[in-house]
Each structure stands twice: as C-alpha cells, then as structure tokens.
C-alpha cells in the first residue's frame, strides 16, 4: 500500500511514505526527497516582492521541488489582504510559468480563491490544504479545478472535514499531516472510515490522484 502525505512541515525518513515537505523560501534548506517551496502569508515580512520572485524561480527549478507552496490567503491575520494577494498572485504566476501544482493555505478566503481562479486563467492544479469546510464550498473549489487535502480534522468525527470528505469525488482528495504529530496512517484510517471505503482502495485512488497532479 502506497501512502502519500501531500503536505508536511516535518521531514521524515519513512520509506513507505511519499511526503511533500513544505520548505519555506526564507528558511534553511531541509533534506527531503520531495518538496514544495514558497512564502506563506504569515511570513511576508521576510522578503520583498522582487526578492521573492527571483528566489522562488531559482529554488523551484531544483529537482527536489515538485510544487509551489505553501502559499495562500488568510483573513484571520493582520497583514493587509491586498498585500497578501500581491504575494500570492506572484507565486501563482511562477507556478503557471514552471508548470507546477500549488499547495494552498486558505483561512476564511475560499471565495477570494474562487474569484482569483476564475479571473486569472490558471491551469495548474491547486491543492487546498487542511480543508475543513462544508461540502458546498468543497464542490465550488472542485468545479474550478482544485484538489482538497484533509488532515487532523478528520480525527474528529463531528468535524466539517469528516462529513465533507464523504460527499466529494475521490479523484479530488489528498491527505496530509501538516504540522500535527499524527501519523499519516491514522489520517488514512479516518478518511477510509468517513467514506466507508477500504483503506487499500482509498490509497490506490490517492496514488492515482498524485500521478495525475505530479505526473510520477
């Protein structure tokens, strides 16, 4: 059974798990086979826009980088939203230019994401990570070519995530550990339970999604 952790901030050496380590653009390089690289909306003060663009181009071309992220929009922080949008769109543009999928941090900004996706002619897959919203929001994002990644929220059976993952197409699902201490296997178990699906079958489907998005 192949297990994929689509978004983690912990570098792990588990050979049975394919994991995409989230490498912050300003931070020291961490050893990991597969990485995403980007500037998170919480850390925009770490570099100017020009510097971000040139550094991201340079880093993203390295062979270990398979996605741009995590980048995104967050309506729960003090950083002006128009500034967040500027940094976000610059990084989305680089993803398009380099033909890379994007791993997205989204806090209370699903409608903003939809508007950007609709108005910007974006072709690359966007993976909205840590998803914990209702199915209406999920389906709107899926219709616009997004994937949804679910994490520790699934361990709470009363969560929106647990209900939503049961109601969306399996071809749009990924699973993740993010910052949590949980094993990705436990997230897979919870997802399989929510969907009333065999865990082997679910992992097969998620591997197919991975191949679709990353072409590996």
Contacts with Zn ion by CB under 5 A lie at 70, 178
Query: In which residue are the tokens 């929001």 written?
Result: 137
Calculate the alpha carbon distances from 43 to 7, 58, 78, 87, 161 in Å. 18, 19, 12, 11, 27
Burial of 107 (0-12, 13-18, 19+ CB in 10 A): middle
Closest to Zn ion by CB, 133 or 178: 178
Instruction: Write down the least CB distance from residue 178 to Zn ion, Å.
Output: 5
Closest to Zn ion by CB, 58 or 179: 179
Closest to Zn ion by CB, 70 or 185: 70
Closest to Zn ion by CB, 178 or 185: 178
Question: 59 with 51: CB under 8 angstroms?
Answer: no
Instruction: Write down the least CB distance from residue 21 to Zn ion, Å.
Output: 10
Instruction: Write down the least CB distance from residue 74 to Zn ion, Å.
Output: 12
Closest to Zn ion by CB, 155 or 166: 155
List for the chain the helix, strand, coil content (%; round to 5).
45, 20, 35
Instruction: Write down the least CB distance from residue 197 to Zn ion, Å.
Output: 25
Instruction: Write down the least CB distance from residue 104 to Zn ion, Å.
Output: 10
Instruction: Tell me the residue number closest to Zn ion, measured at CB.
Output: 178
Calculate the alpha carbon distances from 213 to 44, 97, 158 in Å. 27, 16, 30
Closest to Zn ion by CB, 5 or 178: 178
**Residue 171 CB neighbours (<10 A):** 12
- Distance CA(182)–CA(152), nearest Å, equals 7
Instruction: Write down the least CB distance from residue 204 to Zn ion, Å.
Output: 25
């Amino acid at each position: 059974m192949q297990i994929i952790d689509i978004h983690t901030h912990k570098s792990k050496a588990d050979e049975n798990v394919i994991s995409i380590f989230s490498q912050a653009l300003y931070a020291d390089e961490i050893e990991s086979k597969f990485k995403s690289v980007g500037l998170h909306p919480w850390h925009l003060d770490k570099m100017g826009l020009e510097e971000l663009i040139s550094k991201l181009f340079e880093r993203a071309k390295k062979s270990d980088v398979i996605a741009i992220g995590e980048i995104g929009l967050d309506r729960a922080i003090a950083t002006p939203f128009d500034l967040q949008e500027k940094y976000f769109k610059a990084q989305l543009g680089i993803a398009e230019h380099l033909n890379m999928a994007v791993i997205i941090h989204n806090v209370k900004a699903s409608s903003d994401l939809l508007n950007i996706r609709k108005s910007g002619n974006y072709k690359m897959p966007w993976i909205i990570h840590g998803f914990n919203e209702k199915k209406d929001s999920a389906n709107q994002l899926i219709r616009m070519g997004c994937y949804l990644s679910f994490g520790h929220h699934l361990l709470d059976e009363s969560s929106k995530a647990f209900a939503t993952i049961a109601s969306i197409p399996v071809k749009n699902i990924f699973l993740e550990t993010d910052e949590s201490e949980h094993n990705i296997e436990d997230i897979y178990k919870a997802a399989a339970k929510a969907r009333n699906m065999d865990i082997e079958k679910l992992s097969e489907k998620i591997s197919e999604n991975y191949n679709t998005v990353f072409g590996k």
